[in-house]
Structure 1
Amino acid sequence: MSLLNDLFAKPLEPGYEDVAARRRAAGEDPASVGQLRFSPALILGTVALGLLLTMAALQVRATADVVSAERQSLIERIHAEDDNVSRLQETVASLESEISGLEASLLENSAAGRQLRDEVRQLQARAGSMAVTGPGVVVTVDNAENPESYEDPNDALVQDIDLQQAVNGLWAAGAEAVSINGQRITALTAIRRVDNVMKINYRPTQAPYEITAIGDSRSLPSEFGDGTGASWLRYFSLPFDVQSAESLTVPAGSTSLIYAKPGEAT
């Protein structure tokens, strides 16, 4: 019990009690021990630090505003260039149509000319430089449902290889002309996905992807459904729909060659 009595009677350690007694004898407040003394230098330093932090925050905000403005400007430039490319493509298509009309009128004057005209049209249709119409199917491919169920949400998006497999499946099923979202598929076509943007013939497009294929509308659906193209889409759980039609149009594509020249006949 004596130990408990000492604890309650003398809560301070003897050393602390001696220091407090000496401070009282010297006329100082014992409670001031350990209190901070705010010097002018400390106050000025604190104010300077606050100013620096404020300036840094303003600079970061200004930089963010500049980056946002530059990004918006870049987006507007991209859209403007896309519109310009579309206008140029329309001009090219119009000029090609005019040239075809002039060629047809010149070849119309003789039987040999008419035969040559028909052969040229067949070659243009096969090469993809001429718009074609006829029966066929429209295969609509979309992104997978419930993307949140995927470990990587990008796996739920249609990839370039998915469209490539679908197009190859249509060729194998007997398609004679194919387009994706209005872009003709030719020997020069590139189907690429870059930074989550699908590009057909270097033109951006997005899901759903309507793949128009001209061919036998009676056999194409079953041949495609039983082939590798549909099997690929099913394997990766990508929803797709196949609809037959008696009249479809596949636009002309760009088949201009820059370096390749016709070889000499042998």
Structure 2
Amino acid sequence: MTLLTEVYRRPLDPGYAEATARRAAGTGPRRTWRSTAGLVALAMGLGLGATAATLALRQPAGAVLAARELLEAQIEQRSSEADDVQAEITAMTDEIAMLQEELLGDEGQSVRDEIDADSVQSGVTAVTGPGLRLELTDAPSDNPDEEDPELRVQDVDLQVVVNGLWAAGAEAIAVNGQRLTAMTAIRSAGDAVLVDLVALSSPYTVEAVGDAAGMQTELARASAGQHLATLRTTYGIGVQMTSQSRLELPGTGLVTLHEAGVPDASAAPEPEAGAGGGAPEQRLVAGSAGQTRRDGT
């Protein structure tokens, strides 16, 4: 209380009060042009120093600029090499198709039909036809500085959707223009989702060629439909499904054959009792079997 009372009665410090009184009486020190010039020079020096320090901090170092230029040059070189290799692959694919036509002739129509059907199943050739288009968009975040991973479309979400479409009768599927095959893997790397090591970002457009009405019905009945409903209602992720009269899915080109051989029929294992008779396995995206929860458990 004593301190509060003193502050209330004497709000001005005694030193400041004494200086004010001397200045009012005319006995205080007078400001000369030298002191004024000194203050101006000091203020200008401080301002120039602060400006120089700011520019020095904002300007990248020479080593950083050199490294950046080197990386940009390497990226351009690798991109040019990749384009050249892709053009060579396209030319070789056309040449192989022409040689197949010449080798088979008119009598090999059945073989050509089988090759065309297998190329569609393997994803080698492009596909055109009606189907479904499903677009998944990240949910809006209230705090952009702290992004919640639960509000983003994750790799497991795409895995569930893709496997649900395969089970619903899709003939060919692509995600953001990346054609899916039996060798395709959908993984995550940080905030990005990788499809065959190609980084994708929101929105994710999943296109499936097939019977649009049938796939939509089967997808709604399966667990994939429930997963999409959970993404929409619980996490606010955008889910939009539309039927398309025409979809164009790209091909992956020829697949490199690393190893092949003719199996020995005598060494083939006998099917276990009650295992079923030769039903084809369901096509699954690598690493997605059994994953139906966003927490990965």
Asked if these proteins are the same fold (TM beyond 0.5), I'd say yes
Out of 69, 72, 78, which is 1:81 matched to? 78
Is the CA contact (8 Å cut-off) linking 2:141 and 2:148 kept in structure 1?
Answer: no
Deviation at 1:192, TM superposition (A): 2.1
Matched, 1:91 2:85: no
Matched, 1:200 2:195: yes
Provide the C-alpha distance between the structure 2 equivalents of 1:163 and 1:141, rounded to a whole number of angstroms: 9
Shift in CA distance, 89/210, structure 1 to aligned 2, threshold 3 Å: farther
Q: Deviations over 1:131-186 (max 9, x none)?
A: 12221111111111235399753332222111111111111111011111111101
Matched, 1:225 2:220: yes
Q: Deviations over 1:168-220 (max 9, x none)?
A: 11111110111111111011112222132332222223221111101112211
Partner of 1:108: helix, strand, or coil? helix
Out of 170, 176, 186, which is 1:175 matched to? 170
Provide the C-alpha distance between the structure 1 equivalents of 2:69 and 2:158, rounded to a whole number of angstroms: 31
1:242 aligned residue: 241
1:146 aligned residue: 141
Is the CA contact (8 Å cut-off) linking 1:221 and 1:243 kept in structure 2?
Answer: no
Provide the C-alpha distance between the structure 1 equivalents of 2:137 and 2:247, rounded to a whole number of angstroms: 21
Provide the C-alpha distance between the structure 1 equivalents of 2:139 and 2:249, rounded to a whole number of angstroms: 27
Is the CA contact (8 Å cut-off) linking 1:186 and 1:255 kept in structure 2?
Answer: no
1:186 partner letter: T
Choose 1 or 2 for highest CA Rg.
1
Deviation at 1:118, TM superposition (A): 0.8
1:263 aligned residue: 262
Provide the C-alpha distance between the structure 2 equivalents of 1:121 and 1:95, rounded to a whole number of angstroms: 17
1:240 partner letter: V
Report the count of equivalent residues: 207
Partner of 1:222: helix, strand, or coil? helix
1:109 aligned residue: 106
Deviation at 1:64, TM superposition (A): 5.5
Is the CA contact (8 Å cut-off) linking 1:217 and 1:244 kept in structure 2?
Answer: yes
Shift in CA distance, 144/62, structure 1 to aligned 2, threshold 3 Å: closer
In the TM superposition, structure 1's runs of 4+ consecutive aligned residues that sit over 4 Å from their partners are: 60-64, 149-152
Provide the C-alpha distance between the structure 1 equivalents of 2:195 and 2:92, rounded to a whole number of angstroms: 23
Shift in CA distance, 234/73, structure 1 to aligned 2, threshold 3 Å: farther
Shift in CA distance, 84/64, structure 1 to aligned 2, threshold 3 Å: same
Larger helix percent: 1
Structure 2 unmatched runs, 5+ = 1-52, 266-297
Q: Deviations over 1:47-84 (max 9, x none)?
A: xxxxxxxxxx89x9599533465356536644653564
Provide the C-alpha distance between the structure 1 equivalents of 2:156 and 2:77, rounded to a whole number of angstroms: 29
1:85 partner letter: A
Structure 1 unmatched runs, 5+ = 1-56
Matched, 1:165 2:165: no
Provide the C-alpha distance between the structure 2 equivalents of 1:103 and 1:207, rounded to a whole number of angstroms: 41
1:122 aligned residue: 117
Q: Percent identity?
A: 30
Deviation at 1:86, TM superposition (A): 4.8
Out of 174, 179, 188, which is 1:184 matched to? 179
Partner of 2:94: helix, strand, or coil? helix
Using the TM superposition, name which of 155-164 and 135-144 deviates more.
155-164
After superposition, the CA RMSD in angstroms is 3.1
Provide the C-alpha distance between the structure 2 equivalents of 1:98 and 1:217, rounded to a whole number of angstroms: 35
Partner of 2:143: helix, strand, or coil? helix
Partner of 1:102: helix, strand, or coil? helix
Provide the C-alpha distance between the structure 1 equivalents of 2:77 and 2:259, rounded to a whole number of angstroms: 31
Out of 55, 62, 67, which is 1:70 matched to? 67
Provide the C-alpha distance between the structure 2 equivalents of 1:77 and 1:154, rounded to a whole number of angstroms: 33
Is the CA contact (8 Å cut-off) linking 2:93 and 2:253 kept in structure 1?
Answer: no
